[in-house]
Amino acid sequence: MRGCTAITHRRITRICLWSIPLLFLGVVTSAQTLPFREYTMDDGLPQSETMGAMQDSRGYLWIPTRNGLARFDGITFDTYYRNDGLPSNIVTQLVEDKAGTIWAFTPNGPARFDGNKFHGYPPPDTLLIKQINFGCTLPDPGKFLLMGKIMEGQPRILYFDNGRYRAFED
């Protein structure tokens, strides 16, 4: 019985001695400062409140806001607004399809980026869509499912195929 206690005591002592350096490891790593830079409207953001961010396959960081869209190359911001082809300055979502095309979703419909400017695709008046709420990509480039509200506020699911809309009926 006594031998068992001595073995246990040695084992506990050994564990404690090996654990002490691990305690200091946390102190050493927490002393490192990571490079962090805050960007504001003074740096070129269209608005201080963002709706998210997306990095595309070319390395650009896209930042949607309620007052335009910013593309950041690591140094400067390029901004895009309604007069650059967006259907609305409110950009709620961004996706890059399998072909590498950037799509911006706005309440007035999606927009495709051609490398210089956006081309908007508002839904036709015949669909009575008041607002596009969100979209999700489908496996084929340029094809999306969109959720829209019709004039009476009822939701409607839309199929978008490279500029053409089709509504799913009840």
Each residue's pLDDT tens digit in the chain (170 positions)? 455 566 676 777 777 667 666 666 665 555 567 787 888 899 999 998 888 999 999 999 999 999 999 999 999 999 999 999 999 999 998 989 888 999 998 988 889 999 999 999 888 777 777 777 767 766 667 777 767 667 666 777 778 888 887 887 75
- Round to whole Å and give the CA distance between 44 and 97: 26
Reported pTM? 0.72
Show me where the domains of the chain are located: 41-167
Nearest Cα to Cα of residue 95 among 111, 116, 115, 74: 111
* Per-residue CA distances from 76 to 43, 54, 61 (Å): 8, 16, 11
CATH of domain 41-167: 2.130.10.10
